[in-house]
Structure 1
């Protein structure tokens, strides 16, 4: 997982501050030294690290944080705000043309994931904006590049325009744009060629395509695993093309996160999207504030909520809420929830979005095997209809029969039933506004502490801001 090492180092750096009623200058200097080393180890640009550490230290001293109440929390807050600022402060939307189609030109080195990202972006526009995108296969050099894009197009049901490998890429782009205008496509996504490294011929060709079609958006696709090289690549492409935004791919891989923290600061170009998975739906808008929270191990509740909303419609959500309030949540609902969670992605990634869980020792040592969920479902499927809807009837003899039917030890069946009962009780308390149940759960699972409380406060502030924005929009519509 991206940033895992950086998150652990930053949390360790600030561990000495936690619990202190007063923080001395020497405490602050020691913490900043550790933060500097953590960022450099994560392959963040040296100048970016230097400026970041200097700013945090100046703010901590200037605001007399060391003399105030809860200095450790205030320093964490400053680090969070400066990380957000370094990565761009706010999400930047795609540029959109006043006339259709909006033209998006994908650029980047070979192997960065341009073709797959072009498909992911087309699917995102199709699903979220009800758009009719057209993909243009403009890479005539890489073997099977056109076939790959056509396969992607079939997978997501989006048309692909191609003229083979014997036509000039500039001509392909122009004729593809004509086709889009004829068919009234509202987005055109041009998948251009890449190279193993930046060269004059590549840049000349991309520059000619840009001059021919005048794209509204030039997205640079960068492999996040390349670290410092990603910054050099961004500078090279930006110098020739004046890119409008960056897409970071493979952010779910074994990357140290240096690219995400360096690119915006060095190039002044926003990161617009991040790719965090192999599915065609795994392309997310880049939110600097949410990423900063995740880097600091404070979770990302807003993204978790959005992931959940993608898998649920309002009717499902209301039905589930009613069942929880009425305390009628049963094993059938439990299996439905497991299926929904599996659709959202790997369980360990989802857990890390919960405040305080990113580097929770119990979570780190736990094996998040997808088969574990299948075992839980097997236990439920071995129950009768009555047992699923009325867990109170599950006496010892029934549990032994369920264990035999599911191929699990009876102890595992008992454990699952106990956990289900505790979860049901906790959800019922939370649904009625009793947060003590949630607090107890956080403390029992190691989620308590200042980092978690800070994260929950931050989440609450963001939710209030979002509510105010929605109210303003509704007033304007009226």
Structure 2
């Protein structure tokens, strides 16, 4: 998400960063580029105009012109204003009420409402420790109810049964009563969508809302629809008292215009971003972190949170103890590390959150994909248990057999083993010298790249 916008803005930002002083002409030229970048990202025109005006007022004022490093100051102004446009801070769901807290999801057909219901149910169950029930009031789309039943089973939440012949309002009322009886914390209601905004659809959703008075009414919108996302969100916010927005399919949206437009046009906060089809692919929306990612500064906070949440702490602890005791790092350990990286969104997902990655050329980015990681896992899985524990056994004939079994070439197996030996060497140094041994090794590697040559020797 935001690849094209991030590249354009990063180029502008880098040009300003080293300037000893800025003139009004410099700023005007930079803002022209920012404006073009926003329009190309499909940000709604009123939003672009408002954003540029706000940046311009601050840029030619005390904030930038009188700063000791005006280039850096202007970058901060752009970051601050992007954050403000998207909503300043993360807005959590308001679930502090007498159970069940009812959450109603509305949106057009194809926006991903049913999948988002399951994602939200999983997030509330795992991170907020809530008891969740879901119900489908979509009596028009074939198999919609069955789809939600299946997803509810996958994420381990209660499913309230409904039937295509029932009235949506009656279904919702019955579900609320059932949730109250079963002492459920949160009831998430999936509603019917249409291919476009129409009166019948709005009348039904209004009747549903009036019948169950949800504490949260969330509009689910496909981010890839760009400016249309903002227009549709406006139509729904005029008809319903929306409390927030969920942007879906953000992993397929290279422009990101919807995220910058929806909040400004509707006045409602974006609460979650959906990125991918898996049921764990829903994250709270943090405007400040996203603004930093747009400007190529990365999102280290989200990366740390993701590591804490998705890395198997028991396995990590066992590996640390194993290495510190001097036991050999083997191919089973390497496979665990690769799988945990996959759980965190793979290499592409990790790179997206690291500072400076937006400045990498496309030729480099195109080579970073999870296909190579999956190939490495397949190669290790084609080895015997003994070979994984004792990689030295892998002679030429064994490597050829592993290559055939994993559908790869012997050269791929050789490359994997070379990478394994580098990891094993690092782990070996850690076991011999403790954390200082590893730090010395990292320092030597950085020194070789000219990055840490001026640091004093480690004692």
In the superposition, the TM-score normalised over structure 2's length comes to: 0.86
Is structure 2 residue 367 aligned with structure 1 residue 366?
yes
The 5 Å alignment of 1:42-441 reads 42-63=41-62, 65-66=64-65, 68-321=67-320, 330-331=329-330, 332-361=332-361, 363-375=364-376, 378=379, 382=383, 400=396, 403-407=399-403, 408-409=410-411, 412-413=415-416, 415-417=418-420, 419-420=422-423, 424=427, 432=436, 437=442
Distance 1:384 1:225, change over 3 A: closer
Q: Is the 8 A contact 1:120 1:283 kept in 2?
A: yes
What whole-Å deviation, never above 9, does each CA across 1:272-301 have from its counterpart, x for those lacking one? 111101101111111111111221222111
Q: Which moved more, 1:397-406 or 1:203-212?
A: 397-406
Shift of 1:130: 2.5
Q: Is the 8 A contact 1:137 1:190 kept in 2?
A: yes
Q: Distance in 1 between matches of 2:228 and 2:301?
A: 31
Q: Distance in 2 between matches of 1:279 and 1:233?
A: 25
Distance 1:57 1:160, change over 3 A: same
Q: Distance in 1 between matches of 2:428 and 2:57?
A: 47
Q: Distance in 1 between matches of 2:443 and 2:322?
A: 18
Q: Distance in 2 between matches of 1:442 and 1:162?
A: 63
Aligned with 1:17: secondary structure? helix
Q: Distance in 2 between matches of 1:208 and 1:4?
A: 41
Aligned with 2:250: secondary structure? coil
Q: Is the 8 A contact 1:112 1:221 kept in 2?
A: yes
Aligned with 2:252: secondary structure? coil
Distance 1:147 1:412, change over 3 A: same
Q: Is the 8 A contact 1:402 1:413 kept in 2?
A: no
What whole-Å deviation, never above 9, does each CA across 1:230-271 have from its counterpart, x for those lacking one? 111111111111100100000001341111011111211011
Shift of 1:79: 1.6
Shift of 1:439: 11
Distance 1:132 1:372, change over 3 A: closer
What whole-Å deviation, never above 9, does each CA across 1:79-121 have from its counterpart, x for those lacking one? 2222111111111111114211000011011111111111111
Aligned with 1:284: secondary structure? strand
Q: Is the 8 A contact 1:274 1:283 kept in 2?
A: yes
Q: Is the 8 A contact 1:222 1:246 kept in 2?
A: yes
Partner of 2:407: none
Q: Distance in 2 between matches of 1:277 and 1:108?
A: 18
Shift of 1:57: 2.5
What whole-Å deviation, never above 9, does each CA across 1:127-158 have from its counterpart, x for those lacking one? 22232211111111122211211221222232
Structure 1, unaligned stretches of length 5 or more? 449-478
Partner of 2:457: none
Q: Distance in 1 between matches of 2:26 and 2:434?
A: 39
Shift of 1:424: 4.8
In the superposition, the TM-score normalised over structure 1's length comes to: 0.82
What whole-Å deviation, never above 9, does each CA across 1:12-71 have from its counterpart, x for those lacking one? 222322433333332222211111100011111112111212222322222353454433
Shift of 1:5: 1.0
Partner of 1:465: none
Q: Is the 8 A contact 2:136 2:189 kept in 1?
A: yes
Structure 2, unaligned stretches of length 5 or more? 404-409, 453-459
